Structure 1
Amino acid sequence: METLRRSQYDIAVIQQVKPDAKLLRHIRNSRVPTPIMIIARDITPAGVAEVLSVGADDCVPASVDPVELLARLRAIIRRASGHDSLTLQIGRLTVNVDRREAYIDGKPVPLTKREYDIVELLALRKGQVLSKEAMLDNLYAGQSEPHGKVIDVMICQIRKKMRSMGIEEPFTTLWGIGCRLNEDAFIPLGARMNGIDGSVHPAARESSIPVTAGIKMVPSGGLDML
């Protein structure tokens, strides 16, 4: 419970012999909003119905195919982030999760694999500020993490590429806290000139702190993994 409260997990995966609503009730009664998937060895329709009714986001058998499992996890995370399709649209920015490509005004942004991961994660977590540690955790979960400066370098590279496509400040940094996607930077030019955004935000100081696009899970054993 303390791990779920302190960390910014995308989803918690609980492995059980049978779907058991007791732990789930405890988590939900503690007002922990993290999406939860139950993986159980012995599943019955009644057991699935019970855990879904008390707050599970999905319940699947232990025999579930890995491809299906990953698709279900990604779908839960997208819905929890307010997205209902494989295409994330934020103004001039389009992120195609299925093809792992990002576009500005319909033109592909030439991103490396890790750079794309950062853009996808920031898009999924739009409006949220992620710490540098959380970004590293998401990007390299289950692997040996490089020095934090690698995040700075990748954010700088993404920023440079987006600036060349007309996006001046794609990221906003809150010093000592973390980084988020600057949604105002992606407002369509026509809408900006017509004042449709309706507000003017002071320019935020920016640095290179990125986010991740992997799926971060905490099984009941408490270990992070992709």
Structure 2
Amino acid sequence: MRVLCVGENILYGRPSEALSKAAVAGSLSLATSELSGVVETLRRSHYDIVVVQQSASDVRIVRQIRKGKISAPIVVVRRDGTATGEVELLTAGADDCVAETADHTVLLARLRAVIRRAGGHDSATLHIGRLTVGIERREVHIDAAVVPLTRKEYDLFVLLAMRKTQVLSKEVLLDSLYSGEDEPFGKVIDVMICKIRKKIRAFGIDEPFTTQWGIGYRLNESAFNPVTVTLPQEDYRIRPAVRENCLPVLAGINILGIVAPANRP
């Protein structure tokens, strides 16, 4: 998870204690930005979420980000704030507001929840057809079987699953996977995609990813659709319905070889 921390002054331009602890507990990649250059920073690099740190409610930075056509989710961490201020921040485009005194585990959970909802997922377990991704347990299942992914392969797969409708460039994937580390050679994403494909094909899924040449990769949702059984063609024939004879049976009339006895006085 790549987090851009934005503050209103030197003190609040640094990650708060709760955010710093959340970074350690949740393996977050933290970067900071000044207010004046935040929109350009977000346009130049990919971040999963923006954390705006404030001493009190102020909608200006949120509006600035949204006017810049930046769709990244925003969480505001406030030292002091009122209910009215929170309403104004959410109305301006913030996705959540958290008190500065909140425990780092709560902050981390809120950050994950906002990112998950931004990707169209409503729970910590992602369900995409036959595919199940357990975010907390860091496991990928197809049907009931675990897909044996390495740590980096899992991180790459989750990035694509969380943004299942988006094409992610190799630059974005590299930034997300290796931010703060020495980036490996440029083909590492292609190599990991190839290895993941091979592992998933063992489950009968031929093409788990869609490749946009010159752009990047996207999860192929339709590949994980439940397997359907195709009936033989002859089973689709329309069999004629059995017709019932509704004619009344009268005395002396032979119907189907049965003679009804005449009514006797």
TM-based fold match above 0.5: yes
- 2:9 maps to none
Task: Please state whether the residue corresponding to 2:123 is helix, strand or coil.
Answer: coil
> CA offsets per residue over residues 87-126 of structure 1, 9 Å max, x none?
1111111111121111111211111111111111111110
* Pair 1:184-2:222 in alignment: yes
- 2:161 maps to 123
Q: Partner amino acid for 1:98?
A: E
Identity across the alignment (%): 60
- 1:20 maps to 58
TM-score (norm 1): 0.79
- 2:23 maps to none
Higher deviation after alignment, 70-79 or 1-10: 1-10
8 Å contact 2:208–2:221 — kept in the other structure? yes
Task: Please state whether the residue corresponding to 2:80 is helix, strand or coil.
Answer: coil
> CA offsets per residue over residues 164-223 of structure 1, 9 Å max, x none?
1111111111111111111121121207x59xxxxxxxxxxxxxxxxxxxxxxxxxxxxx
Structure number with larger C-alpha Rg: 2
Given candidates 114, 133, 152, the residue that maps to 2:152 is: 114
**Matched residues in 2 for 1:178 and 1:123: separation?**
14
- 1:200 maps to none
Task: Please state whether the residue corresponding to 1:189 is helix, strand or coil.
Answer: coil
The CA deviation at 1:15 is: 1.6
- 2:174 maps to 136
- 1:47 maps to 85
**Matched residues in 2 for 1:63 and 1:141: separation?**
28
- 1:201 maps to none
Task: Please state whether the residue corresponding to 2:41 is helix, strand or coil.
Answer: helix
Task: Please state whether the residue corresponding to 1:190 is helix, strand or coil.
Answer: coil
Q: Which has the higher contact order (CA 8 A, sep 6+)?
A: 1
Unaligned runs of 5+ in 1: 195-226
* Pair 1:154-2:186 in alignment: no
- 2:24 maps to none
Higher deviation after alignment, 44-53 or 165-174: 44-53
Given candidates 127, 135, 138, the residue that maps to 1:100 is: 138
The CA deviation at 1:6 is: 4.4
**Matched residues in 1 for 2:121 and 2:210: separation?**
21
> CA offsets per residue over residues 60-101 of structure 1, 9 Å max, x none?
122322221111111001111111011111111111112111
**Matched residues in 2 for 1:142 and 1:14: separation?**
21
Task: Please state whether the residue corresponding to 2:168 is helix, strand or coil.
Answer: coil
TM-score (norm 2): 0.68
The CA deviation at 1:39 is: 1.5
Number of positions where the alignment pairs a residue of Structure 1 with one of Structure 2? 193
Q: CA RMSD in A?
A: 1.8
Unaligned runs of 5+ in 2: 1-38, 232-265
Q: Partner amino acid for 1:129?
A: V
Higher deviation after alignment, 23-32 or 119-128: 23-32
8 Å contact 2:205–2:223 — kept in the other structure? yes
> CA offsets per residue over residues 135-187 of structure 1, 9 Å max, x none?
01111223332222322222222111101111111111111111111112112
**Matched residues in 2 for 1:145 and 1:45: separation?**
44
